[in-house]
Amino acid sequence: MSKHKYIYIIVLIIVTLTIGCGHVVDSEALPEHPTFATDIAPILQKNCLPCHRENGAAPFSLATYAAVKKRAKTIAKVTANRYMPPWPADPTYTHFVGERVLTDQQIALIQKWYEQGAVEGSSGYSYEVPNKYRSSIGKPDLVIPFSPIDLKEGDADRFFISKTHVHLEKGKYISALEFVPSKFGFVHHVNGHFLLYADGTKNKPQRSSAMIEVNEGIDADVFKSLELEGNTGAMPFRIHSAFNYLPGVEGVQYPPGIGGFEVTKDFAAVMNDVHYGPSDANYTDKSVLNVFFSDRKPDRPTAELMLGTNGVSKIVPKLLIPANQKTKHVSRYTIAEDISVLTINPHLHQLGKSFWAFAIKPNGDTIPLIRIMRWDFNWQYFYTFKQMLRIPAGSEIVAIAEFDNTSSNPNNPNNPPVAVGERWDYGGASMRASDEMFQFIVTYTKYKKGDENISLEPKRLD
């Protein structure tokens, strides 16, 4: 055996030992007879109930002991293999608001509890859903409904534009918006705008709401039929990308004054590119937009920096993934001013394999942003840092994505695989789940001294 091979094996052993160490469970420390009341309820309350509750993102509730007991076996299974709770970001690299990752100790505890018969234990313990609203933030000040959409079993991708007119007593500051689909797994993507009618006192009734099915490209006629003009006939002022939605995304509310915007007393919420992925059931979607108001003028506007597809930086090499190949692509962008990062969103489609982003400061230091070892198309969170994160002027933001277009990728939509990449037939890159995208979106505000001490942990509204 060559010297190199020896070194390789020694390194392998050290790496195995080191990785192994992180997974050692101290079984001595586990209670002899774990109960739901004392041991399991607190774990599930924090890590499962945000979704597994009435009106949550999950298909069933785990909000009572009886419901948990009924599924104890599956719960033991999906926690042990880390399928649940879904949290693609690597918690050894960076941390975010709402991080939901079980420790090995917690997983072992659930196993032991299940094996001993999933006992409830003493009564009178507390086990509550985070809040009773159809929201991850709290009680919305306003809920804007969108027209229902009928989906049919066997549907391919479908695209809509929807508009809802809103009348308030007076103009307001909006601090947070949250798009909520009525059932998880159907809506793939939404990009929404607000149109502000400064002249909105005598709005035509037919302006109130509309839902139009479109091809992926949106042309002028479609906009015309939505009757978006103000009473003067001119197009009202538009706030672009006022809200966005991707699978798994929850609403975020930044500290007072940061982000948000002002609306006039008459405005329309327009959902652009409401995109439903292929449907495997008949279903009527009744999505809503939760609106949260604030008394504080939004004096620190947020902006979005988008690397990759449709963005400010090119993808190297070009995003084309030949059949039966694995590829790796990089996108880099140097920022000109100091920024305070709030939220980041990595976005790939089904062939995505891994994602990694960091910033390199002018002095060569690295600021870790996010690492996702196992890309999961179903969970494309917007990750909010626990504290505002300063990236100094002159830093280069680097995003790296790997794709797997072989048939051993279980998420490959094509069997046998075919070449997949960005497609540009629609005046922008195609967002169809069967085409690929590579985007890294950074939501930030201009840096101000002291920002690094500002917490982004949400303040519960109720």
Task: Kindly list the residues in this chain that would bind ligand HEC in the complex (CB under 6 A).
Answer: 44, 47-48, 50-52, 57-59, 71, 74-75, 78-79, 84-86, 100, 184, 248
Separation of alpha carbons 26 and 18, rounded Å = 16
Task: Report the chain's terminal Cα–Cα distance, integer Å.
Answer: 66
CB of 181 to ligand HEC, least distance (A): 11
* 186 vs 194, beta carbon nearer ligand HEC: 186
* 77 vs 361, beta carbon nearer ligand HEC: 77
Separation of alpha carbons 416 and 408, rounded Å = 10
CB of 3 to ligand HEC, least distance (A): 47
Residue 359, Ramachandran bin (φ over 0: left; ψ between -120 and 50: alpha; else beta): beta
Per-residue b or e along 189-204, where b marks 16 or more CB atoms closer than 10 Å to that residue's CB = bbbbbbbbbbebeebe
* 58 vs 168, beta carbon nearer ligand HEC: 58
Cβ 135 vs Cβ 290: under 8 Å: yes
Cβ 52 vs Cβ 61: under 8 Å: yes
* 102 vs 226, beta carbon nearer ligand HEC: 102
Cβ 305 vs Cβ 296: under 8 Å: no
Structure tokens at 437: 């995208």
Separation of alpha carbons 320 and 291, rounded Å = 39
Of the candidates 379, 375, 428, the residue with the CA atom closest to the CA atom of residue 401: 375
CB of 184 to ligand HEC, least distance (A): 5
CB of 118 to ligand HEC, least distance (A): 12
Of the candidates 210, 264, 271, the residue with the CA atom closest to the CA atom of residue 237: 264
* 199 vs 376, beta carbon nearer ligand HEC: 376
Handedness of CA 141, 345, 351, 60 (dihedral sign): negative
* 86 vs 428, beta carbon nearer ligand HEC: 86
Of the candidates 180, 176, 462, the residue with the CA atom closest to the CA atom of residue 293: 176
Separation of alpha carbons 332 and 359, rounded Å = 9
* 333 vs 375, beta carbon nearer ligand HEC: 375
* 74 vs 92, beta carbon nearer ligand HEC: 74
CB of 309 to ligand HEC, least distance (A): 25
> What is the Cα gyration radius of the chain?
24
CB of 249 to ligand HEC, least distance (A): 10
CB of 84 to ligand HEC, least distance (A): 3
CB of 397 to ligand HEC, least distance (A): 27
